[in-house]
């Protein structure tokens, strides 16, 4: 079986791996480099739990041909915390009970990060739109929306 060399940056660290050509990015992240934060949900782009950022933009890792991220920066939920210090998004998800089973959480966090990086003070409608491709079957979404709005406020306070 032929393999293709792939170099990219993952959460700020250079990665060079051989991947089965044609693999999706989710397989490469989980099996290739051992980042288990993006999850496999539906494999068809419907659930959003594999959401990562590529060059700062949200992408579904399960639908991304791995070789297309060559030379690019991929960020997963593993990038958010600095050891025990959580990102405000993670703090707010905990405080507002925005995670129950937790399976959607890595994708939700990255979808939210993509939004807040582009729109630091989003409206509720922008938050709803930002997570519209991410399915949560536990929370009913309201705690997640509240958490993201609160995180935006905290980020703004920290930046100010």
Partner 1 sequence: MRSGCIWVSRHDGAVMAVTVETYATAEEAGRALRTGGDARYLGGGTIVMRAINYGDQSFRRVVRATDPALRQVRAQGARVEIGSGVTMAEVIDSRELAFLAPVARWIGGPAVREVATVGGNLFAEHPYGDFAAALLALDAVVTEVGGATRPLEALLSARTRGTQPLITAVSVMRPEAGAFRFAKVSRVKPKGVSVMSIAAWLPQQGGRISGARIAYGAMAATPIRTMGVERALEGKTLDAAGIAPALSAATDGLQPPSDALASGWYRREVAPVHLRRLLLGEAA
> Is there binding between residue 119 and partner 1 (CB under 8 A)?
no
Q: Considering the complex, what minimum distance in angstroms separates the CB of residue 85 from partner 1?
A: 27
The DSSP bridge partners found for residue 85 are 82
Contact flags string 36-75 toward partner 1, x per CB under 8 A: -------xxx--x--x--x--xxxx-xxxx-xx-------
Q: How many Cβ atoms sit within 10 Å of the Cβ of residue 112?
A: 29
> Is there binding between residue 105 and partner 1 (CB under 8 A)?
no
User: Tokens 């306070």 sit at which residue?
Assistant: 157
- The one among 15, 17, 21, 72 contacting partner 1 by CB under 8 A: 21
Which candidate, 144, 149, 91, places its Cα nearest to that of 122?
Answer: 149
> Is there binding between residue 4 and partner 1 (CB under 8 A)?
yes
> Is there binding between residue 32 and partner 1 (CB under 8 A)?
no
- The one among 9, 20, 78, 86 contacting partner 1 by CB under 8 A: 20
Judged by CB under 8 A, how many residues of this single chain contact partner 1? 35
Find out whether 148 and 115 touch, Cβ atoms under 8 Å. yes
Q: By 3-state DSSP, what share of the chain in percent is helix, strand and coil, each rounded to 5?
A: 40, 20, 40
Range list of β-strands (E), the chain: 3-10, 13-20, 51-54, 57-60, 73-75
Q: Which residues contribute to the site for partner 1 (CB under 8 A)?
A: 1-4, 20-24, 43-45, 48, 51, 54, 57-60, 62-65, 67-68, 111, 114-115, 128-134
């Amino acid at each position: 079986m032929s393999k293709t060399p792939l170099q990219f940056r993952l959460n700020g660290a250079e990665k060079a791996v051989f991947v089965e050509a044609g693999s999706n990015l989710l397989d490469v992240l989980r099996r290739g480099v051992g980042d288990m934060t993006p999850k496999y949900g539906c494999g068809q782009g419907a659930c959003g739990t594999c959401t990562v950022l590529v060059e700062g933009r949200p992408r579904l890792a399960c639908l991304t041909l791995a070789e297309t991220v060559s030379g690019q920066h991929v960020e997963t939920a593993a990038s958010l915390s600095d050891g025990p210090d959580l990102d405000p998004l993670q703090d707010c998800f905990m405080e507002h009970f925005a995670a129950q089973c937790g399976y959607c959480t890595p994708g939700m966090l990255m979808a939210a990060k993509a939004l807040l990086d582009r729109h630091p003070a989003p409206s509720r409608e922008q938050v709803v739109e930002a997570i519209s491709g991410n399915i949560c079957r536990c929370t009913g979404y309201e705690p997640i929306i509240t958490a993201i709005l609160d995180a935006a406020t905290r980020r703004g306070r920290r930046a100010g």
